Amino acid sequence: MTTVLDRIKTYKLEDVAARKAALPLSDVEDRARRAGRPRGFAETLTRATKEGYGLIAEIKKASPSKGLIREDFEPADLARAYATGGAACLSVLTDTPSFQGADEFLVAAREAVNLPVLRKDFMYDTYQVAEARALGADCILIIMASVSNAQAIELEEAALFWGMDVLIEVHDAEELERASLLKSPLMGINNRDLRSFDTTLDTTRTLSRLVPPDKLIIAESGLSTPADLAELARYGARAFLIGESLMRQADVATATRELLANPLTATGI
């Protein structure tokens, strides 16, 4: 059975091949070297979790399962609203066919604020990693469900070479075990199954117990209220990646601020 993730991988590999043909790797690497220093995504997020919750606020126009999420879509304005609301970092979708994202969305968002930015895309090739740094990204995503162990290691090493951080995303115990081969301290637990698109917070409740103590748990998907964050904080998640529920709000800054208000303290876990 062909899944959504399979279809994404097929067109993404075609897209990467087309990008390579249009712009040689050496040119991309030249741009990456001129991009300046990364802003320290993991450091910033970890620091935020010591004071409250660490929020990776996502700039996301659409999704394969929900279609268009926000019609009034200005990445720079959204980035400023998230920063005003207290987000520690940003995540920007750059995949076009499934999420109506674009590389220029990341550039615009990062230029508008001082927050570190994750390039949210489906990574398969080290060309994409150099490309991410050339765009100004401070962190990349590795989805364990979509890559082999060898690919994951290769992508992570490329990111580290460019000084970027890596968010490793898992959905089940097998992927979490494979992710232990990687160096990154950022362990994202996606409550949405990328094969079926079903979402349940039980994924974080279950997998959080298996995450090594030296990793920072980042709960992703299905989160919309302070109660959701407090519930998963009880299972060790102090950082969260949230997009859709905030993107649907008329006042994004206020919605972000209210979501992060009154975090569950570590002593209350």
Query: Catalytic residue numbers?
Result: 58, 60, 120, 169, 190, 220-221
- Side-chain half-sphere of 164: how many Cα atoms within 13 Å? 31
Q: Which helix (DSSP H) or strand (DSSP E) does residue 218 occupy?
A: strand 216-220
**Distance (Å) of CA 42 to CA 68, 163, 191, 222:** 30, 11, 21, 22
Q: How far is CA 228 from the centre of its chain?
A: 19
Bridge-based pairing of strands 239-242 and 165-170 is unpaired
Phi, psi of 233 (to 5 degrees): -65, -30
- DSSP secondary structure, 144-196, as one string: GGGS-HHHHHHHHHHHHHTT-EEEEEESSHHHHHHHTTS--SEEEEESB-TTT
Q: Please state the φ and ψ torsions of residue 108, each to the nearest 5 degrees.
A: -65, -40
Pull the structure tokens for residue 144.
């364990």
- Separation CA 171–CA 250 (nearest Å): 31
Q: Which of 161, 165, 145, 15 is nearest to 91 (CA)?
A: 165
